[in-house]
A and B are shown apart, each in its own frame.
Chain A
Amino acid sequence: MKAKNSFHHLLTTSLANFKRNKARTILTSLGIMIGVLSVVLLIALGVGLKNYLKEQFESLGSNLIIIFPGGGFGDNEGGASSFGPGMMGGTDFDEKDVRNLQKIPEADYVVPIFFKSLTIGGGGEKFTGYVEASNEDVFKIMNLTPIAGRVFTKSDVQRKTKNAVLGYVIAENLFTEPAKAVGKTIKISNQRFKVIGVIEKKGDRELDNSAILPYKSTFGNLNPNKTFFTIYLGVNSEKNIETVKQKAEKILLKRYEEDEFSVTEQAEILSTVNQIFNIVNSILIAIGSISLIVGGIGIMNIMYATVTERTKEIGIRRAIGATQKDILNQFLSEAVILSVFGGLLGLVLASLIVLAIRTVFPAAINLLAVVLAFGVSTIIGVFFGVFPARRAAKLTPIEAIRFQ
């Protein structure tokens, strides 16, 4: 009962002080609020970015091995920064590589990808999208199902038919109603292609904006060098991923140098990308934390002023039996309440902002952010409050009570 009583007294005293200095209280808390707001928002955006990437990768399906030109992902230095079609160093792959890779028994699918950004016309409209040239297995490996028409087959590839499967967004842009694109003609680099199907919306900007063509049909005008940027391997079982990776490397090493290509599994890419974002996010959070420290210094400043202002009160309390510890606790709890109050405000504001942007971006406030907001603001309150509080506690009762 006694402890509860003391705690209650600490709280009421603190609140009485805040009430008397409303503007000061709010301004002091504002520093912490801004700090917590920026840190929590940065965490939320980081989480959002990770969620976004994860969604993107998950849409690709599992048991996937990706062969990139150049160092690619993994341990190779600078590899990660060279991500992105056309930006990679190293080699381009060709049909011979595809044929060689098809000899791996555990690889169900070998899917070469040629990728190019260009303007596509159709339905009287023009749209800047992508051409993705591949074989019939691309639809299986990427889980692409048509909402209208059909996807192309092996025979389309072999016969070099001028058939195209459109992504949802490009179909919508050219023909307004995506399903009605089937049977229409589109024009790519002066070549006409017939739309035979439209695939469902995947939420992947590149896929949704692509016209997917049988790769042999692009040899010539669109892909004069008959090369591929990437080759996807679909492995029959998760436990064979490592085997397939090794076999693929062995095959490719016969034609290329070690640093001209990289064989990576999907999980690896995701973890590398996540690592990069974690580092970037940590740096941003560290920068955001500077404002927390500034806020803490604000609290310290105000608390020093408060101690001087309330010297007489300290003397009175000491005279009627407050110990040094009582005084220390009093001022420390005021600093912590100020700080946590700021932290709470920051968290609420961050939540509102995250709620607002959630419609366009999967940002999220996780438990870590909440714990951090409270933990850090408490620690800041204690750390920056303890010096002024100790000054208050160390005042001799006699000097304090004589203070005018």
Chain B
Amino acid sequence: MAQGKKTNQPIIKLENASKTYYLGDEKVKAVQDVSLEIYKKEYISILGASGSGKSTLMYLIGLLDTPTNGQIFLNNKNISKLTDQQLSELRNEYIGFVFQSFNLINKFTVLENVLLPTQYRKTQLKFNPQKQAETLLKKFGIYDRKDFFPNKISGGQQQRVAIARAIIMNPKIILADEPTGNLDSKTGPEILTILENLHKSFDTTIVMVTHEANIANRAKKHIYIKDGRLAKKYL
């Protein structure tokens, strides 16, 4: 468990975080009283059954959502006091999302999709976005698809585009929500390998949400979630 704790402060820390929302009149306690810490260079899986609250937990970690109760710290900074703009900028800088359904924008080409996060950086970029995007596409073997629209390429290729988009800003953490969920048994592991290679070569922290134990097992640290609470073990 001590692996990865080379820096003494966590990138993200949840302190008794809870998220409650309403579906119609029904109160849903999606995440309850969760405390956890995520450090640099970690490879973590969040394992839970469907409806266990694992996606909500991921969105809390990804600063896409704010907790109803409890605190979230990014680099020891309490994010509950931040404005929407500050949170957006932090997402842009620190976090790369990879979704089950890829979530590419279909009216943009592959290249334009990869470039999208660079449009929202409020400060001067330290790299040439065009070159960086092309380098990533080459690296993932989809450079020849750069002018294609997402609906004209395969699922595996789409997920590679999504990963390229997630890492173009050099985020500290990649949050992957069932990244192989829409892929077949051949391309799924390929995508996992890509993510793992990023983790190895660039020390990127990976947090992967899944309901499949065998996929979760590839991670080095495991978080089990059941009914919105952290569990000792996945059942």
Contacts and interface: CB of A to CB of B under 8 A. Distances in A.
A290 interface: no
Contact of B84 (A1, A20, A313, A323): A323
A316 interface: yes
Nearest to A322: B120
25 contacts: A6-B119, A12-B112, A19-B107, A20-B107, A312-B103, A315-B103, A317-B116, A318-B64, A318-B88, A319-B64, A319-B103, A320-B165, A321-B92, A323-B88, A323-B120, A324-B85, A325-B85, A326-B88, A326-B120, A396-B65, A397-B64, A397-B65, A398-B59, A398-B64, A401-B103
A359 interface: no
Contacts, number: 70
A315 B88 CA distance: 12
Identify which of B104, B107, B165 gathers the most chain A CB atoms within 10 Å of its CB. B107
A321 B122 CA distance: 10
B97 A321 contact: no
Interface of A: 1-2, 5-6, 9, 12, 16-17, 19-20, 312-313, 315-326, 396-398, 401
Nearest to B169: A321
Given A320-B92, A321-B92, A9 B103 contact: no
A324 B84 contact: yes
Given A6-B119, A398-B59, A323 B105 contact: no
A321 B88 CA distance: 5
B233 interface: no
A323 B89 contact: yes
A102 to B, nearest CB: 83
A317 B108 CA distance: 13
B88 A398 contact: no
Given A2-B124, A9-B119, A322 B108 contact: no
Contacts of A326: 88, 120
Contacts of B84: 323-324
A289 to B, nearest CB: 34
A56 B117 CA distance: 65
Interface in B212-233: none
A315 B96 CA distance: 14
Interface of B: 59, 62, 64-65, 84-85, 88-89, 91-93, 96-97, 99, 103-105, 107-108, 112, 116-117, 119-124, 165, 169
B65 A398 contact: yes
B124 A1 contact: yes
B84 to A, nearest CB: 5
Nearest to B107: A16
A320 B117 contact: yes
A319 B101 CA distance: 14
Contacts of A315: 103
A321 B96 CA distance: 10
B103 A322 contact: no
A319 B90 CA distance: 10
A332 B64 CA distance: 23
Contacts of A5: 119
B119 A323 contact: no
Contacts of B122: 2
A320 B91 contact: yes
A12 B122 CA distance: 19
Closest CB pairs A-B (n = 10): A321-B92, A321-B120, A323-B88, A320-B117, A9-B119, A398-B65, A323-B85, A16-B107, A397-B64, A316-B103
Given A324-B84, A397-B64, 17 more contacts: A2-B124, A5-B119, A12-B112, A312-B103, A313-B105, A316-B104, A318-B64, A318-B88, A319-B64, A319-B103, A321-B92, A321-B120, A323-B88, A324-B85, A396-B65, A401-B99, A401-B103
A48 to B, nearest CB: 45
Contacts of A16: 107-108
B9 to A, nearest CB: 23
Contacts of A17: 107
Contacts of B59: 398
A319 B62 contact: yes
Contacts of B112: 12
A319 B91 contact: yes
Contacts of A1: 124
A2 B119 CA distance: 8
A320 B166 CA distance: 8
Contacts of A321: 88-89, 91-93, 117, 120-121, 169
A5 to B, nearest CB: 7
A1 B128 CA distance: 12
A5 B84 CA distance: 22
A228 B65 CA distance: 89
Nearest to A325: B85
A274 to B, nearest CB: 52
A173 B42 CA distance: 101
A318 to B, nearest CB: 7
A19 B106 CA distance: 13
Identify which of A5, A321, A322 gathers the most chain B CB atoms within 10 Å of its CB. A321
Contact of A319 (B97, B121, B169): B97
Contacts of B85: 323-325
Contacts of A318: 64, 88, 91
A396 B59 CA distance: 12
Given A321-B89, A321-B92, A322-B88, A316 B64 contact: no
A1 B123 CA distance: 10
Contacts of A12: 112
Contacts of A398: 59, 64-65
A398 to B, nearest CB: 4
